[in-house]
């Protein structure tokens, strides 16, 4: 039934290739454990067997984030089996996610971002203009790496200053862009190299569609000149976008829509950064702090 479950994820839930691969890895590992320890298949596994696997993962020293992901994989799989009436009850009901210390999202300070765009020497050639587009799109819209790579020329409305973004599960949203970014994109479109599939917006030096590692290298290259953060990734720019909006008074619900989050809980983590900033201000300025 694992193949049927993965097929369900891919074609009915329209999960990403990365998500499907992660589920497959977790479930394959679980099946091997069951076979070795209990000579059992997943459809016959008990709650005790599931808990035993989780304990074994903890004893191996696997971090809580990875273990919780595997628990989530089991819940999804057994929920699928239950709906298909392949099992009488759900054995994952006794499983609880491991408690984790909340990690605040890393972000780049505003001064550093100003330095990046005002004082960094982006080459005045097609590749340099493209690099600046990549950085400004990620910081100026908060889009994900996959969303950036998926952007096509037809998704741009430069006159209306919006871009159409296809997020997780192909959910579509419109994201506003600044007039300066619209002008930069217009400049890039005028100089970008032609390639076989001209629908794709961001191209590599060779004129092919950009890919994740290419964008990650580009971001790391330029962020290295303005910040000492250990993380210098496209996702850090997404965090930076959200944090700077919140710090300047943007409504949390509006940020949720801009980021394409399914619910407000995913957005609320950014409020912790603002609270930390308020605490710091209080400690520095209040006489009795």
Give the whole-angstrom CA distance, residue 143 versus residue 134: 11
**Interatomic CA distance for residues 73 and 29, integer angstroms:** 11
If we measure between CA atoms, which residue out of 257, 286, 284, 253 comes closest to residue 271? 253
Q: Which of 24, 208, 235, 272 is catalytic?
A: 235
Catalytic (active site) residue 199: no
**Residue 187 neighbours by CB distance under 10 Å:** 14
> What torsion do the CA atoms of 73, 76, 82, 84 make, to the nearest 10 degrees?
-110
Q: Is 168 a catalytic residue?
A: yes
Name the catalytic one among 130, 144, 244, 256: 144
Q: Catalytic pick from 23, 78, 222, 270? A: 270
Active site residue 99: no
- Per the annotation, the verdict on 261 as an active-site residue is yes
H helix or E strand, kind and range, residue 174: strand 172-176
Q: Which position among 70, 238, 244, 256 bears the catalytic label?
A: 238
Catalytic-residue membership of 187: no
Instruction: Give kind and range of the element (H or E) at residue 58.
Output: helix 47-59
Is residue 84 part of the annotated active site? The answer reads no
Catalytic residue among 69, 168, 220, 272: 168
State the Cα–Cα distance between residues 262 and 168, nearest whole angstrom.
Answer: 9
Cα–Cα distance, 121 to 206 (Å, whole number): 22
Residues involved in catalysis: 144, 168, 235, 238, 261, 270
């Amino acid at each position: 039934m694992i193949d049927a479950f993965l097929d369900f994820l891919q074609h009915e839930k329209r999960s990403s290739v990365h998500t499907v691969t992660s589920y497959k890895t977790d479930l394959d590992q679980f099946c091997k454990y069951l076979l070795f320890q209990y000579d059992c298949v997943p459809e016959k596994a008990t709650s005790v067997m599931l808990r035993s696997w989780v304990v074994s993962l903890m004893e191996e020293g696997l971090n809580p984030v990875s273990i919780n992901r595997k628990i989530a994989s089991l819940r999804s799989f057994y929920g699928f089996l239950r709906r298909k009436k392949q099992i009488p009850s759900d054995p994952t009901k006794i499983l609880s996610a491991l408690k984790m210390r909340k990690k605040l999202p890393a972000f780049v300070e505003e001064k550093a971002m100003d330095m990046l765009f005002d004082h960094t020497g982006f080459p005045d050639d097609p590749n340099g203009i493209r690099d600046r587009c990549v950085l400004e799109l990620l910081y100026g819209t908060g889009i994900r790496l996959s969303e950036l790579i998926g952007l096509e020329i037809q998704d741009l409305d430069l006159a209306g200053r919006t871009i159409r973004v296809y997020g997780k599960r192909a959910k579509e949203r419109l994201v506003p862009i600044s007039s300066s970014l619209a002008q930069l994109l217009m400049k890039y479109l005028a100089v970008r190299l032609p390639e076989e599939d001209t629908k794709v917006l961001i191209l590599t030096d060779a004129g092919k569609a950009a890919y994740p590692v290419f964008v990650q290298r580009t971001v790391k290259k330029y962020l290295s000149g303005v910040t000492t953060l250990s993380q210098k990734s496209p996702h850090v720019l997404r965090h930076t976008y959200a944090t700077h909006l919140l710090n300047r008074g943007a409504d949390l619900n509006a940020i949720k829509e801009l980021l394409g989050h399914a619910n407000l809980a995913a957005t609320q983590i950014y409020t912790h950064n603002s609270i930390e900033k308020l605490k710091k201000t209080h400690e520095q300025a209040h006489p009795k702090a």
